[in-house]
């Protein structure tokens, strides 16, 4: 196979044959119309496994060649990757590399797919992981609004707007980071967030005037913070860091983790959940308010009704537990023992 003259991904040196091969794979997948979030995840998976593979072969990542893709070094690379990554992350990286190697087999670059010799983790049963405690969201929001989070360059209005948006819209972290100022649309009292979700699926999430007021307050402080006094235009990123650049995934995770800690609710966050706990909290609350699985699916942008049904089932279990705590049951038990 003669690889086309495509730009490298920027992760490895310009002469990397492996990077050029992966770029060719990405180009071949363009008709699938993968979302920017999917493409970013694939590039992260390619980068980190490439680094582990290079470590196994004793070379620099920029020196990796397509001929280096064998079962043993790849297996060792995935073993090293699995030490500090969740099962879901390992499974996603496996899928990325399996697709890449399958592409190379189809192009007669590899005689066979080496990923066939590497175990893929079984999918975990995903259960909702909302914040523990009925009042936890309110405790969190009040603490953030009061500016309790210590930071080198405090910006409580921005922090509050981020947490509030996640809690009352239920959008994913990647969707939040992709929001532009102009994605808040609609007339006063009938406003919506225009969200680009998985698979480039678009949806509108209704928001109440209270959130609009929070976002307006944040944008006012943003205009003052950067000196010109002008509100950002509709094409600019909605949420930015202290330098005015688009907020990154790592910055968002750090912000949310810090807010949990300074609000004193870090022990109410289930393991394996961080920013996503706010999305799960939103879902369980709308279910408790009487939302159906179809309504949950539309609000959260799920592609399967089965995914949304998990929140309905979880809500039913919580209601049963709450009902079981009724002290009148104790009287019934005592009578039954007589």
Higher pLDDT, 272 or 216: 216
Higher pLDDT, 3 or 208: 208
| Per-residue pLDDT at 14 exceeds 70 | no
| Per-residue pLDDT at 274 exceeds 80 | yes
Higher pLDDT, 276 or 303: 276
- The whole-number pLDDT of residue 160 equals 94
Homologous superfamily of 136-324: Intergrase catalytic core (1.10.443.10)
* pTM greater than the 0.75 cutoff: no
**Six token digits for residue 3:** 């690889």
Domain ranges of the chain: 17-117, 136-324
For tokens 């100022």, the residue is 181
Q: Quick one: average pLDDT of 53-61?
A: 93
| Per-residue pLDDT at 103 exceeds 50 | yes
% of the chain surpassing 70 pLDDT: 83
Which CATH fold topology does 17-117 show? DNA polymerase; domain 1 (1.10.150)
Extract long-range pairs of 154-159: CB within 8 Å, 24+ residues apart: 155/221, 155/225, 155/242, 157/217, 157/218, 157/221, 158/218, 158/221, 158/222, 158/239, 158/240, 159/255, 159/259
217 Cβ contact partners less than 8 Å away, ≥ 6 residues apart = 157, 161
Q: What is the mean pLDDT of the chain?
A: 83
């Amino acid at each position: 196979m003669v690889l086309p003259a495509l730009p490298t991904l920027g992760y490895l040196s310009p002469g990397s044959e492996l990077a050029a091969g992966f770029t060719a794979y990405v180009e071949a997948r363009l008709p699938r119309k993968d979302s920017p979030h999917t493409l970013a995840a694939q590039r992260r998976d390619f980068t980190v496994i490439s680094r582990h593979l290079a470590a196994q072969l004793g070379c620099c990542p920029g020196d990796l060649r397509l001929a280096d893709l064998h079962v043993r070094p790849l297996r060792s690379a995935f073993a090293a990757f699995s030490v500090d990554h969740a099962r879901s992350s390992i499974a996603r990286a496996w899928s990325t590399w399996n697709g890449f190697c399958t592409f190379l087999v189809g192009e007669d670059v590899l005689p066979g797919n080496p990923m066939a010799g590497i175990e893929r983790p079984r999918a975990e049963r995903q259960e909702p992981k909302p914040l523990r405690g009925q009042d936890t969201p309110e405790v969190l929001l009040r603490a953030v609004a009061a500016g309790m989070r210590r930071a080198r360059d405090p910006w409580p209005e921005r922090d509050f707007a981020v947490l509030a948006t996640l809690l009352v819209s239920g959008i994913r972290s990647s969707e939040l980071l992709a929001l532009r100022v102009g994605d808040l649309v609609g007339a006063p009292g009938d406003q919506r967030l225009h969200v680009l979700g998985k698979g480039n699926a678009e949806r509108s999430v209704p928001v109440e005037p209270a959130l609009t007021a929070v976002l307006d307050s944040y944008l006012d402080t943003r205009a003052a913070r950067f000196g010109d006094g002008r509100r950002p235009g509709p094409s600019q990123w909605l949420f930015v860091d202290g330098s005015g650049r688009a907020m990154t995934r790592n910055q968002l995770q750090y912000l949310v983790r810090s807010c949990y800690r300074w609000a004193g609710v870090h022990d109410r966050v289930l393991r394996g959940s961080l920013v996503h706990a706010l999305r799960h909290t939103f879902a369980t609350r709308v279910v408790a308010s009487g939302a159906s699985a179809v309504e949950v699916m539309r609000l959260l942008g799920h592609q399967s009704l089965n995914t949304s049904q998990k929140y309905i089932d979880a809500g039913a279990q919580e209601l049963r537990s709450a009902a079981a705590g009724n002290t009148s049951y104790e009287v019934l038990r005592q009578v039954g023992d007589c």
